[in-house]
Amino acid sequence: MTLPRQRNMTEQAADAAIDTACRLLRLPTIRAEFPDIATAAAKDQMTYRGFLAELLMAECDDLARRRSERRIKAAGFPREKSLRSFDFDANPNIDPATIHTLASCEWIKKSQPLCLIGDSGTGKSHMLIALGTEAAMKGYRVRYTLATKLVNELVEAADEKQLNKTIARYGRVDLLCIDELGYMELDRHGAELLFQVLTEREEKNSVAIASNESFGKAHLFRRTRARRCRNITGSSCGSPGIRRRRCLG
């Protein structure tokens, strides 16, 4: 479709042409905000370049917001949680500075793992979802799952001879969030399948795990250690409620 071009259009004709062009070019934000931005530009006596910059930046900002929303939705979080809504006063063992450092997502950029360990009610799941959401907002591909749900999916995939495809799918995301690891004991087969996912991501992409205090004795690692020795250990971040640990060989 070619839009008719003419000089000295009336204001009404210009608005109609802008509306049509925005539809064709798929610029919904410019189409919606153009009247207000144009009015402000005239009032502030903006240059043409300044006015154009305002329009384009508004479109870019809204595009980034929509992409973030799609990544958050694709992550599969069970509910909305944010760092702003976390009650640090309820668990004084958690250092806000450490958490906000994690929110920078540098550890994801470096493909490092994260373990959130503590008793029930210490805010592990909230923090896992909140940090995953921060990662999605910063452009990372994130996937959230319960440990038992992931194992069940892997078992079904193995039965249907789709295991490699399923493991590869979980291996492609930048951050895999596994919640409630260690809460339920896994059988040998399920533990080994889950370990395959962790091995696939090792030193390639980040894994964030939330578990209770018995994580160090988790059935997963007790049963698979004979196959490949990978113990979850390391230094604490100074918080017995939620700790960051690295996987060391």
The more confident residue out of 147 and 212 is 147
Closest CA to 185 of 158, 217, 153: 217
Range of weakest confidence among 6-15, 80-89, 230-239: 230-239
pTM here is: 0.72
C-alpha–C-alpha distance, residues 64 and 133, integer Å: 14
pLDDT at 110 over 70: yes
pLDDT (mean) for 203-207: 90
Long-range contacts of 31-40, Cβ-Cβ distance < 8 Å, separation of 24 or more: 33/58
Per-residue pLDDT, 130: 96
To the nearest whole percent, how much of the chain has pLDDT over 90?
49
The more confident residue out of 5 and 157 is 157
Closest CA to 195 of 156, 168, 227: 227
pLDDT band at 224 (very low <50, low <70, confident <90, very high): very low
The more confident residue out of 180 and 175 is 175
pLDDT band at 6 (very low <50, low <70, confident <90, very high): low
Q: Give 15-66 pLDDT, tens digit per residue.
A: 888 888 888 888 999 999 988 998 998 899 999 899 999 999 999 999 999 9
pLDDT at 125 over 60: yes
In sequence order, what DSSP letters do the residues of 172-191 get, joined into one string?
HSSEEEEEEETSSPPPHHHH
- Which uninterrupted H or E stretch holds 116? strand 114-117
Per-residue pLDDT, 79: 94
Per-residue pLDDT, 218: 46
Per-residue pLDDT, 92: 83
**C-alpha Rg value of the chain to the nearest Å:** 24
Q: What's the CA dihedral at 177, 181, 187, 190 to 10 degrees?
A: 0
C-alpha–C-alpha distance, residues 167 and 174, integer Å: 14
Per-residue pLDDT, 245: 44
pLDDT (mean) for 166-193: 88
Work out the mean pLDDT of the chain and round it to a whole number: 82
Per-residue pLDDT, 154: 94
CA distances 4 to 17, 193, 203, Å, are: 9, 62, 56
Please say whether the beta carbons of 165 and 157 come within 8 A.
yes
pLDDT band at 5 (very low <50, low <70, confident <90, very high): low
Give the highest mean pLDDT range of 12-16, 61-65, 232-236. 61-65
pLDDT band at 133 (very low <50, low <70, confident <90, very high): very high
To the nearest whole percent, how much of the chain has pLDDT over 70?
82
